[in-house]
Amino acid sequence: MDTKTIFMAFFIINTLVSCAYPCLGQEDVDDKPLVNPAEFDTLDALSPASHEYNIYMLENLPPKYKTYLGTCADKMGLSGILECNEDVLSEILINKPVSRECCLMVVRAGKECYMEIRKFMFRLYQLKRFASQVSFKTNEVWNRCSAEVESPSSSQDHTI
């Protein structure tokens, strides 16, 4: 075999391996939080300009979309929206796992509602800078919660 054939074989094998395992040679950034956990509590601080942005954004949502979001919020229940919203954001942004109770409320709302509420949340001024980075993590939270809630070994007389 000549050098050119060996090089081509090595190149083809290397290409096939990198296509089959794209994470090889890449830093695993999925485990890094998007927000420093110490700074998480400051995310909801609003300046007058950011408050105006959120009001403008809310006022310009289509009425059907507002109704849909309201229906989704009703499916989660008041405690689901008030308590679980911050928990879900914590898991998405700082990798702090959502409780089983919160997972129950998330799954009760359904995947479509869960995803739409998340999409809406990341349109708010204080979270919009993360919007392009959270779709994978948002889906990951849903998958974990639905697996945990639907797993026979994890059910402890909880009903959805």
* Token code pair at residue 45: 């601080």
Task: Over range 87-113, report the average pLDDT.
Answer: 91
Structure confidence at residue 144 (pLDDT): 93
* Residue 59's pLDDT band (cuts 50, 70, 90): very high
19-28, 36-45, 61-70: segment of lowest average pLDDT: 19-28
CA distance 145 to 92: 13
CA distance 125 to 122: 8
* pTM for the predicted model, two decimal places: 0.67
Q: Say whether pLDDT at 48 is over 70.
A: yes
Number of Cα atoms under 13 Å in the Cβ half of residue 10: 7
Q: Say whether pLDDT at 38 is over 70.
A: no
CB atoms within 10 A of CB 44: 11
pLDDT in tens, 12-33: 555 544 444 444 444 444 567 6
Structure confidence at residue 76 (pLDDT): 84
CB atoms within 10 A of CB 89: 23
Task: Over range 70-97, report the average pLDDT.
Answer: 86
Structure confidence at residue 6 (pLDDT): 53
